[in-house]
Structure formats: C-alpha cells, structure tokens
Amino acid sequence: YPDYGVSVAQAVISKNVFRGIVICGTGIGMSIVVNRFSGIRGALCSDLYTAKLCREHNDSNILIMGGRVIGHGLAKEIVKVWLSTPFEGGRHQKRIDKITHLEKLKKI
C-alpha cells in the first residue's frame, strides 16, 4: 500500500487532483505514508463528525480510512461529507500557515 499512498500524495501536491482518498486495513499505515509529504494534510476518519471537522478546520486534502475498521455504507457517507465540506478559513487558516512554515523549516 505505500506505493499507492505515495502516488496519491504526489498527485495532490502536483495539483493533478484537488484531493485524494486512500484506504488500507486500519488507515494507520496510509496515514504514516501520506503525511510524510510537505503540503499534505491527511486525516484518518472513522466517523462523520471527524470527516466534517477535518475539512472545516484543517483543510484536509487527503481522506484516509480503514477498510477493516468501518463498513462500506459508513465509508460512503464519510466520503460524501468530506467531499462536500468546505474549509472555513479565518482563524483556522492561521493553523495551516503555522504548519506550512514548519514544513519549510524541515524541522518536523
């Protein structure tokens, strides 16, 4: 699965796609892979509330799910919520700017 995570992360970074979705058994492995890339804000979601807030507050650009953790029906609902929820910006943009600054320092 790491190869697929790398491909999706690179597609998002290069702006070939607007956002990406990756799935593995628990979602943890994919989380580790995609979040290695600067500019990626991958969010592991297993409920609708997290899917909504990771977009609104963190401008998540990769949705990560665990196929062995959630069922097919819930996964579809999470995807719908995640894709339809816009980033709020405002006070949340400050957080994104800080993360981007840290990535540029390469201290993390």
Hey, what amino acid is at 85? Answer: T
**Catalytic annotation, pick one of 57, 72, 92, 101:** 57
Q: Which residues of 36-45 are buried (b: 16+ CB within 10 A; e: fewer)?
A: ebeebbbbbb
Does the annotation count 24 as an active-site position?
yes
Active site residue 57: yes
Query: What is the token pair recorded at 50?
Result: 């997290």
Q: Write out the catalytic residue numbers.
A: 24, 57
